[in-house]
C-alpha cells in the first residue's frame, strides 16, 4: 500500500493534495521566501510522486525486491527534501490564535473561534462556513494553513482498565505512539505523548531508541496526539494532564515542545493546565536551562536509572556525555527559577538497580536535591515493561519493588509506584510502533 499520496481519477498525485499534506512553519516565512522556495518544492514534489507511481507499479508486479527498496528510499529522501525546502501550508494546530491574528492582521475573536473548532470540535476544513467567523477570516487562514492529521494505524485497549495505546502515522510515513492513561479520579485522563520519531539517547531499557533518531516531531504533531486521545474519551471525561514520556527525548526537541505546551494549555485549544504537564528527560542540562528561560510552569521528571555512577552508565549512556551531577545542577536552577517541585523517575529493573545500595544512593541524591531547592522531591518508581525478544532486563518482582519502596519511604520520602497499566498490550515505549512498522514494512517505508 502506498501511504500519504492522494491520486486523482487519472491516477496522478494531485498537486493540491500533495502540498496540503506537507507540514511546515509557513507562518514565519516571508512572502518573498515562500515564492522562491515554492518552485523548488513543486518540482521535488512532482519527482517524489513520479517515484510513488513507479513504486505502485512495482508493488503490482510482485514480491519484495531491491527495486522496491530503492524506490522507497528515493521517495523518502525526496519527500524529506520537499518537506524541508519549501513550506507552503502549515498545520494550524501548532499555532496560537494571538500569533496568527498578529501575523495575518486578522480578528482575534474570530480566529479563536476557528481554532477552538479545530481543537475541540474536530473541524477539518478551515474554509467551511462557521458561526460567527467571517468568510474573509476563513479565506485568510485557509490560504496559509490546513488542519494537519495523523493517521490512526492501530489502537489497542487494555482489558484491565481504560488504558489505551495508539500507533499513529505521520504524513511522511513514520509511526509514533501515544498513550491514554486513566487517572485515579474517574473520568480524568492523562496523555503520554511522543516528541520525536525514535530517539538518539540510547537508554538500554528502551525500545524506542533501538532504531536511533529519525526526526523531531513538529509542535502540531505533538498537539494532535492529545486531540486524538480526547476524541477517544467516553462522554463526560476529559484530558487533565499531559506527560512527555512517549517516544523521544523532549529536551532534544525543545522549540517544538515549548510551542506544544503553550498551545495545549491555551483555553481555545486543549486547555490543559501547564502545572498538570510533566516533561520527562534523561537530563540534558542545556535543555533544562533553556526550559527555565521559556517560563513554563511544567513539572520535570528526571530519569535516574541509578544514582550509582557505574550502574547508571551501563543503563544510560548519556552519563558519558552529561553526568547525573550536571543534570542535577541544571535541574536545581530550573526548580529555583520556576518554583516547581522536583520529581525523580526510577525504572525498577530486577537485580540491576534494586539493591539496598541503589536505594541508599537514590535516597542520598534525593536528600541533597531536596535541601538545595527547599522542597523534598517526589520519587516515582516505574515498573519496567519488557521490550520483547532478547530483552536484557526483567521487571522487578512485587517483593523487590515493595522492599525498594520501603527502604526509601523509611527515610521520609513521598514515594509513588507509578501506574504502569496496559501490561496486557504492547505497553513498553516504542513497542507498538515497532510492531506495526514490522507488520507493514513495505507501506511504512514507502
Residues designated catalytic: 177, 429
Closer residue to ligand SF4 in complex, CB, 55/208: 208
Minimal distance, residue 362 CB to ligand SF4, in Å: 18
Closer residue to ligand SF4 in complex, CB, 188/290: 290
- What are the grid coordinates assigned to 391, written together? 530483552
Our finding on whether 201 is near ligand SF4 (CB under 6 A) is yes
Residue range at the interface with ligand SF4 (CB under 6 A); choices 85-93, 159-167, 194-202, 373-381 = 194-202
Minimal distance, residue 380 CB to ligand SF4, in Å: 14
- Round to whole Å and give the CA distance between 155 and 152: 7
Closer residue to ligand SF4 in complex, CB, 211/370: 211
Burial class (CB in 10 A: 0-12, 13-18, 19+), 62: exposed
Cβ contact 222:172 at 8 Å:
no
Work out which of 41, 72, 282, 420 binds ligand SF4, going by CB under 6 A: 282
Which x/- pattern, by CB under 6 A, does the window 220-249 give for ligand SF4?
---------------------------xxx
- What are the grid coordinates assigned to 66, written together? 531491491
Residue range at the interface with ligand SF4 (CB under 6 A); choices 35-43, 201-209, 349-357, 373-381 = 201-209
Ramachandran angles phi, psi of 150, nearest 5°: -105, 140
Which x/- pattern, by CB under 6 A, does the window 165-184 give for ligand SF4?
--------------------
Minimal distance, residue 317 CB to ligand SF4, in Å: 9
- Round to whole Å and give the CA distance between 18 and 258: 28
Task: Spell out the alpha helix ranges (H) of 86-237.
Answer: 97-104, 108-121, 135-144, 219-232
Cβ contact 393:350 at 8 Å:
yes
Q: How far is CA 353 from CA 112, 137, 360, in A?
A: 49, 57, 11
Closer residue to ligand SF4 in complex, CB, 201/335: 201
Residue range at the interface with ligand SF4 (CB under 6 A); choices 89-97, 195-203, 230-238, 382-390 = 195-203
Closer residue to ligand SF4 in complex, CB, 223/345: 345
Our finding on whether 353 is near ligand SF4 (CB under 6 A) is no
Closer residue to ligand SF4 in complex, CB, 127/200: 200
End-to-end CA distance of the chain: 8
| Three-class SS state of 11 | coil
Minimal distance, residue 197 CB to ligand SF4, in Å: 11
Work out which of 19, 206, 296, 349 binds ligand SF4, going by CB under 6 A: 206
Minimal distance, residue 9 CB to ligand SF4, in Å: 43
Q: Which residues pair with 416 in a beta bridge?
A: 380
Residue range at the interface with ligand SF4 (CB under 6 A); choices 110-118, 200-208, 225-233, 437-445 = 200-208
| Three-class SS state of 181 | strand
Work out which of 72, 190, 208, 354 binds ligand SF4, going by CB under 6 A: 208
The alpha carbons of the chain give a radius of gyration, in whole angstroms, of 23
- Round to whole Å and give the CA distance between 42 and 18: 9
Work out which of 176, 199, 229, 425 binds ligand SF4, going by CB under 6 A: 199
- Round to whole Å and give the CA distance between 350 and 353: 7
- What are the grid coordinates assigned to 312, written together? 547508571
- What are the grid coordinates assigned to 383, written together? 515498573
Minimal distance, residue 202 CB to ligand SF4, in Å: 6
- Round to whole Å and give the CA distance between 390 and 404: 26
Kindly provide the b/e burial profile for residues 107-128, where b requires at least 16 CB atoms within 10 angstroms of the residue's own CB: eeebbbbbbbbbbeeebeebee
Which x/- pattern, by CB under 6 A, does the window 62-101 give for ligand SF4?
----------------------------------------
Minimal distance, residue 400 CB to ligand SF4, in Å: 21
Minimal distance, residue 310 CB to ligand SF4, in Å: 18
Count of residues binding ligand SF4 (CB under 6 A)? Answer: 11
> Parallel, antiparallel, or unpaired for β 164-169 and 151-157?
antiparallel
Closer residue to ligand SF4 in complex, CB, 248/342: 248
Closer residue to ligand SF4 in complex, CB, 203/335: 203
Cβ contact 313:319 at 8 Å:
yes
- Round to whole Å and give the CA distance between 224 and 147: 10
| Total residues belonging to the chain | 446
Our finding on whether 203 is near ligand SF4 (CB under 6 A) is yes
Our finding on whether 217 is near ligand SF4 (CB under 6 A) is no
Name the residues that contact ligand SF4, by CB under 6 A. Answer: 199, 201-203, 206, 208-209, 247-249, 282
Amino acid at each position: 500500500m502506498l501511504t500519504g499520496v492522494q491520486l486523482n481519477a487519472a491516477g496522478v498525485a494531485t498537486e493540491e493534495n500533495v502540498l496540503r499534506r506537507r507540514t511546515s512553519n509557513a507562518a514565519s516565512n516571508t512572502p518573498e521566501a515562500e515564492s522562491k522556495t515554492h518552485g523548488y518544492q513543486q518540482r521535488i514534489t512532482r519527482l517524489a510522486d513520479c517515484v510513488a507511481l513507479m513504486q505502485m507499479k512495482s508493488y503490482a508486479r510482485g514480491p519484495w525486491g531491491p527495486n522496491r527498496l530503492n524506490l522507497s528510499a528515493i521517495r523518502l529522501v525526496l519527500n524529506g527534501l520537499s518537506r524541508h525546502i519549501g513550506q507552503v501550508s502549515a498545520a494550524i494546530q501548532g499555532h496560537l490564535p494571538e500569533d496568527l491574528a498578529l501575523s495575518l492582521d486578522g480578528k482575534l475573536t474570530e480566529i479563536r473561534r476557528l481554532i477552538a473548532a479545530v481543537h475541540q470540535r474536530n473541524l477539518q476544513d478551515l474554509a467551511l462556513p462557521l458561526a460567527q467567523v467571517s468568510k474573509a477570516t476563513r479565506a485568510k487562514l485557509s490560504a496559509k494553513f490546513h488542519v494537519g492529521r495523523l493517521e490512526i494505524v492501530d489502537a489497542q485497549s487494555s482489558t484491565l482498565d481504560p488504558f489505551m495505546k495508539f500507533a499513529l502515522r505521520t504524513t511522511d510515513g513514520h509511526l509514533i505512539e501515544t498513550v491514554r492513561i486513566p487517572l485515579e479520579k474517574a473520568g480524568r485522563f492523562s496523555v503520554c505523548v511522543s516528541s520525536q520519531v525514535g530517539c538518539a539517547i540510547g537508554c538500554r531499557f528502551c525500545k524506542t531508541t533501538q532504531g536511533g533518531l529519525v526526526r523531531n516531531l513538529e509542535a502540531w504533531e505533538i498537539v494532535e496526539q492529545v486531540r486524538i486521545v480526547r476524541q477517544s474519551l467516553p462522554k463526560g471525561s476529559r484530558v487533565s494532564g499531559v506527560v512527555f514520556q512517549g517516544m523521544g527525548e523532549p529536551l532534544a526537541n525543545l522549540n517544538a515542545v515549548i510551542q506544544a505546551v503553550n498551545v495545549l494549555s491555551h483555553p481555545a485549544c486543549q486547555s490543559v493546565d501547564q502545572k498538570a504537564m510533566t516533561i520527562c528527560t534523561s537530563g540534558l542540562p542545556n535543555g533544562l536551562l533553556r526550559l527555565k528561560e521559556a517560563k513554563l510552569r511544567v513539572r520535570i521528571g528526571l530519569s535516574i536509572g541509578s544514582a550509582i555512577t557505574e550502574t547508571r552508565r551501563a543503563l544510560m549512556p548519556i552519563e558519558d556525555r552529561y553526568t547525573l551531577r550536571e543534570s542535577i545542577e541544571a535541574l536545581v536552577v530550573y526548580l529555583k527559577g520556576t518554583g516547581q517541585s522536583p520529581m525523580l523517575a526510577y525504572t525498577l529493573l530486577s537485580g540491576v538497580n534494586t539493591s539496598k545500595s541503589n536505594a541508599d544512593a537514590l535516597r542520598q541524591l534525593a536528600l541533597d536535591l531536596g535541601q538545595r531547592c527547599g522542597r523534598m522531591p517526589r520519587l516515582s518508581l516505574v515498573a519496567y515493561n519488557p521490550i520483547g525478544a532478547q530483552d536484557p532486563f526483567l521487571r522487578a518482582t512485587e517483593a523487590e519493588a515493595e522492599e525498594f519502596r520501603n527502604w526509601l519511604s523509611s527515610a521520609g520520602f513521598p514515594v509513588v509506584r507509578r501506574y504502569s497499566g496496559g501490561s496486557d498490550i504492547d505497553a513498553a515505549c516504542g513497542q507498538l510502533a515497532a510492531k506495526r512498522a514490522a507488520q507493514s514494512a513495505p507501506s511504512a517505508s514507502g
